[in-house]
Amino acid sequence: MNKIHVSLIGASGYSGVELIKYLLRHPQVEIDNLFANTSAGKHLSDVAPVYGKNFDPVLESFSVDKIEKSDLVFIALPSGEALNLVPQILAAGKKVIDLGGDFRLQNTALYEKYYKRTHTALNELSKAVYGFPEWHASRLKNAQFISNPGCYPTSAILPLAPLLKDGVIEQTGIAISSLSGVSGAGKSSSLDFSFTEINESVRAYKVGVHQHIPEIRMALEQISGKPATISFVPHLIPITRGIYTSSYAMLAKGKTEADILAAYEKYYGSAPFVRFSATKIPDIKHVAHTNFIDIGFKLFPENGQVVILSVIDNLVKGAAGQAVQNMNVMFGFIETEGLL
């Protein structure tokens, strides 16, 4: 199979730098161009010293004529910036995978409420395929444009979806609490989200107004085919990378530990990056720098509750790794190519 040519917009951000690593190790990929905004004109090694002698291109300012040879363009920019780029790139006949949040919500009223801006690319919004390879592979194979799921949603949706879909847990009153490393806020985040401010502390933020709330609810309802009510509270903790999510739900009447395991085996038994266990408590350090999600759970029979625990690397399964996994499905590569 011939290699595909890819370009990346947002090469100097945390997710972009991580994505380059996986693209370089992918045997079916050739990198054409790396684009950046404020870092344009610098060498890649100037913003990411991990790269150097063997791969050190100059970061460029984006223009659509520079992607003429590319089959696929990744966008790894803060939300809002892809609205102007995606129409140009799709019009040029290129495939797109967007790691930002601009095309995840099909409901523009929710987008404008949670992202605080008007959606200006409505024609392209209808073309976006929200992409979990574990659930949406058939749609991803034929997609021209994939909207990569968010990091917090990935850590919550994948553990909850099988249990909702098979009626193992109740649809109402699902509470989700997530702890994230500070890299999740991105390089352009405010001082409040810096490591100095978070160190020796834990901080909840955007309580009740976080932009991932409607995304989690939307995806759970689409996958399960059932309405769901959720609460979601994110926290920053003093580590660089990783997300630890605890989800609290009520078991449906008559359901047991065996039903939970059966649901996970049914939907994830052959999923290469989903690991689940009834006995092991997941730990961030076991998924750091990988594309895995580890899932565990604990039942509280006295009140009919189950706590589902999950961990991911926010920069890999929550961003760059999942984007490459989506690319693999999109182009018919082995799903694990470049990721193991």
Q: Which residues are catalytic?
A: 151
Distance between CA 291 and CA 45 in Å, rounded? 24
Nearest by Cα to 220 from 284, 292, 308: 308
Eight-class DSSP state of 106: S
The alpha carbon of residue 234 and the mean position of all alpha carbons in its chain are separated, in whole angstroms, by 15
**DSSP-assigned beta bridge partners for residue 68:** none
Distance between CA 198 and CA 239 in Å, rounded? 9
Instruction: Give me the count of residues in the chain.
Output: 340
Using DSSP's 3-state secondary structure scheme, residue 118 falls into: coil
Between the CA of residue 241 and those of 14, 144, 170, 195, 318, what are the distances in Å?
A: 10, 30, 32, 11, 10
Alpha-carbon Rg for the chain, nearest whole angstrom, is 20
Distance between CA 85 and CA 259 in Å, rounded? 45
